[in-house]
Amino acid sequence: MYHAFIKKLFLLLALTSYTFSAQGQTSDFNLPDLGDESHQVMSPIEQKQTGEGFYRQALVYMDLVQDPIIKEYLDKLGNRLIESIGLKKDSFTFFMINDNTVNAFAVPGGYIGVHTGLLLTAKNEGEVASVLGHEIAHVTQQHIPRMISAQKKALLPNLATLLAGILLGGQATEAAIAITSARSIENQLTFTRTFEREADRIGITVLANSGYDTDDMAAFFLRMQQANAIYETNAPQFLLTHPITTDRIAEAKARAANYPHTAKNDNTEFLLIHANLTVMNMEAADAISLFRKKLREKDSSSLVNRYGLALALMKGSKYAEANSETEILLDELPDQLLFKILQAQIKSGQGKHNQSAALFKAIYEANKSSLSATTYYAEELGQQGDFTEARKVLRRAVRKYPKNIRFYEMLSHAEDEAGSQMESHRALAEAYALIGNYQLAVQQLKIARNLASKDNFYVQASITAKIKELKAKQALEKNK
């Protein structure tokens, strides 16, 4: 009986809860008073813990996109937005869910989820940025804490579970409701019109500060309105719950008029990612037909469509044809990282591992800060059996990307193969800790401590301190 409520609550957290007003200037970006009631009900530390708790559950139960190229693109876009308003790079966590519905949502602590359907529906990067800007504002303006400031403190320990349950559905939803007594907060956990307007106003400020065309917000909602007209009674739930009216679009346009329209963004990378997601969500044969048709019609970027075709051909194991298309791409843009990675992937698929290894190494050496370059190079080193070099690369990777479970899992394997069982167990412990399995993490650390030299005081002390930290977190979870 609670499913309708859960869907409503989720939608109110998402993109579809926009209610545009006609205001918005850079000076409107003001954080709420740190002494307000929202910090009494949920301190910054508690917000961080709530977000972390939600994200740990999302890593386990949600179908998150793991493709490093997609993840890197979303991180880059998200960081561009938050840095434009003076926030520290990587202070937010952006992640993508493999779900073709059009949605995005924000969780306290700076966690922003984006559905693949949002990027597949958007026509340019600015439209995606307009949605993310709105969600970022929900976090910076403390909207969830401010909404529940009148609620009892007892709600807080289980808020992460509630938020995860909202998104996971099924039994997880029912469990989340039971745990948090969601019935008592049905009427409280809703985004007020004031908060939505505030998020819209600040969202367009984020858009403008980041160098995007502020008209992109209204353009995206116009397309949503058109979709509503097409779907009619079969419209997606978010359109039925929050219809996008002509007035709302007009208000968005009026707000955009307050900013100069001088933005000139190169949408090539967005379109390449769009092509990547398109291929990811189609059968290889269908994707090949689609992009060949696009190339024949010449009604859009031939570069993007050729990239999509090459990806589809590789997915269909048609490596020779894929390589031919990729060579054309590299002739046009020889420095495009995505094309270089694709070329190396094709060589690997063909079994030409000496060539693929050389290509991945060159890509990594030129792009050591790149998530995708690091991931593919480490994987190639593992396939080649060069675990000594692989662990060197991965040790650097986990320092730069401390929330990346995949890197810790790969490092654990590389350390083990390179003969360092102690470090292997430490890396695996970090992977378990990231998903909230503190019991297994502690077990791995105890094994690592037993394997460590008794004379190495630093390592022994470091492992013992980590065990103590994780046990404290485990105890905190049990007390919720």
Provide the domain count of the chain: 4
The model's pLDDT over 408-447, given as tens digits with 9 standing for 90+, comes to: 999 999 999 999 999 999 999 999 999 999 999 999 999 9
> If we measure between CA atoms, which residue out of 444, 449, 450 comes closest to residue 427?
444
Which are the contacts of 15, defined by CB distance < 8 A and separation ≥ 6?
102, 103, 104, 105, 118, 131, 134, 135, 238
Q: 104: which strand partners?
A: 114
Pair 332, 349: CB distance under 8 Å: no
For residue 64, the 8-state DSSP code is B
Decide which of 204, 236, 256 is a domain's last residue: 256
> Do 425 and 405 share a structural domain?
no
Decide which of 333, 351, 369 is a domain's last residue: 351
N-to-C CA span, the chain: 25
pLDDT-derived band at 170, boundaries 50, 70, 90: low
Rounded CA-CA distance 430/404 in Å is 10
What CATH code is carried by the domain that includes residue 318?
A: 1.25.40
Is the pLDDT assigned to residue 1 strictly greater than 50? Answer: no
For 249, the token pair is 């679009």
The most confident of 77-91, 138-152, 219-233, by mean pLDDT: 77-91
| Residue 113 within a domain | yes
Question: Could you give the angle at the alpha carbon of 145 between the alpha carbons of 141 and 146, nearest 5°?
Answer: 70
The model's pLDDT over 95-133, given as tens digits with 9 standing for 90+, comes to: 999 998 888 889 999 999 999 999 999 999 999 999 999
Is the pLDDT assigned to residue 136 strictly greater than 60? Answer: yes
pLDDT-derived band at 302, boundaries 50, 70, 90: very high
The model's pLDDT over 269-290, given as tens digits with 9 standing for 90+, comes to: 999 999 999 999 999 999 999 9
The model's pLDDT over 324-383, given as tens digits with 9 standing for 90+, comes to: 999 999 999 999 999 999 999 999 999 999 999 999 999 999 999 999 999 999 999 999
Pair 376, 411: CB distance under 8 Å: no
Mean of pLDDT over the chain:
83
Is the pLDDT assigned to residue 323 strictly greater than 50? Answer: yes
| Residue 449 within a domain | yes
> Do 394 and 428 share a structural domain?
no
How much is the pLDDT for 5? 35
| Residue 223 within a domain | yes
Is the pLDDT assigned to residue 389 strictly greater than 60? Answer: yes
Cα distances from 239 to residues 217, 234, 248, 352, in angstroms, run 16, 10, 13, 50
Pair 212, 123: CB distance under 8 Å: no
For 133, the token pair is 């800007």
For 348, the token pair is 């690997």
Pair 296, 289: CB distance under 8 Å: no
Is the pLDDT assigned to residue 206 strictly greater than 60? Answer: yes
For 109, the token pair is 């602590």
| Residue 400 within a domain | yes
| Residue 48 within a domain | yes
> Do 169 and 246 share a structural domain?
yes
Alpha-helix runs per DSSP H in 25-149? 37-41, 44-61, 68-83, 116-121, 125-140, 143-147
How much is the pLDDT for 239? 52
Q: How many CB atoms neighbour CB 464 within 10 A?
A: 13
Cα distances from 329 to residues 33, 44, 265, in angstroms, run 52, 47, 21
| Residue 415 within a domain | no
> Do 320 and 275 share a structural domain?
yes
Residue 62 burial by CB count (10 A; 0-12/13-18/19+): exposed, middle or buried?
Answer: middle
> Do 314 and 171 share a structural domain?
no
Q: Any idea how long the chain is?
A: 480
> Do 292 and 277 share a structural domain?
yes
For residue 14, the 8-state DSSP code is B
How much is the pLDDT for 201? 86
> Do 292 and 158 share a structural domain?
no
Tally: H helices and E strands in the chain: 25, 3
Decide which of 377, 410, 443 is a domain's last residue: 410
Q: How many CB atoms neighbour CB 234 within 10 A?
A: 8
> If we measure between CA atoms, which residue out of 277, 270, 310 comes closest to residue 294?
310
Question: β-strand 104-107 against 111-115: which pairing, if any?
Answer: antiparallel
How much is the pLDDT for 329? 98
Q: Which residue has the higher pLDDT, 31 or 313?
A: 313
> If we measure between CA atoms, which residue out of 214, 10, 16, 13 comes closest to residue 102?
16
Is the pLDDT assigned to residue 184 strictly greater than 50? Answer: no
Pair 192, 13: CB distance under 8 Å: no
Mean pLDDT of 450-465: 93
For 131, the token pair is 């949605």
How much is the pLDDT for 13? 43
Residue 113's SS3 state is: strand
Pair 136, 107: CB distance under 8 Å: no
- The domain of 372 spans 353-410
- Tell me the percentage of the chain whose pLDDT exceeds 90: 60
The model's pLDDT over 215-264, given as tens digits with 9 standing for 90+, comes to: 998 898 888 777 666 555 555 444 543 456 677 678 788 989 998 877 77
Rounded CA-CA distance 268/402 in Å is 30
> Do 147 and 25 share a structural domain?
yes
Pair 57, 160: CB distance under 8 Å: yes
Rounded CA-CA distance 480/466 in Å is 22
| Residue 261 within a domain | no
Rounded CA-CA distance 71/79 in Å is 12
How much is the pLDDT for 270? 97
Rounded CA-CA distance 54/51 in Å is 5
Rounded CA-CA distance 243/240 in Å is 6
| Residue 109 within a domain | yes
pLDDT-derived band at 199, boundaries 50, 70, 90: confident
3-state helix vs strand vs coil in the chain, percent to 5: 70, 5, 25
Which of 176-185, 271-280, 381-390 shows the lowest per-residue confidence on average (mean pLDDT)?
176-185
Which of 32-41, 127-136, 461-470 shows the lowest per-residue confidence on average (mean pLDDT)?
32-41
How much is the pLDDT for 167? 57
> Do 101 and 31 share a structural domain?
yes
> Do 277 and 215 share a structural domain?
no
Is the pLDDT assigned to residue 2 strictly greater than 60? Answer: no
> What are the phi and psi torsion angles at 257 (to 5°)?
-65, -15
pLDDT-derived band at 164, boundaries 50, 70, 90: low
> If we measure between CA atoms, which residue out of 41, 309, 280 comes closest to residue 151?
41
Q: Which residue has the higher pLDDT, 195 or 100?
A: 100
> What are the phi and psi torsion angles at 199 (to 5°)?
-65, -40
> Do 250 and 222 share a structural domain?
yes
> Do 339 and 474 share a structural domain?
no
For 240, the token pair is 């039925």
Q: What is the DSSP string of 140-173?
A: HTTHHHHHTTTS-GGGGGGHHHHHHHHHH-HHHH
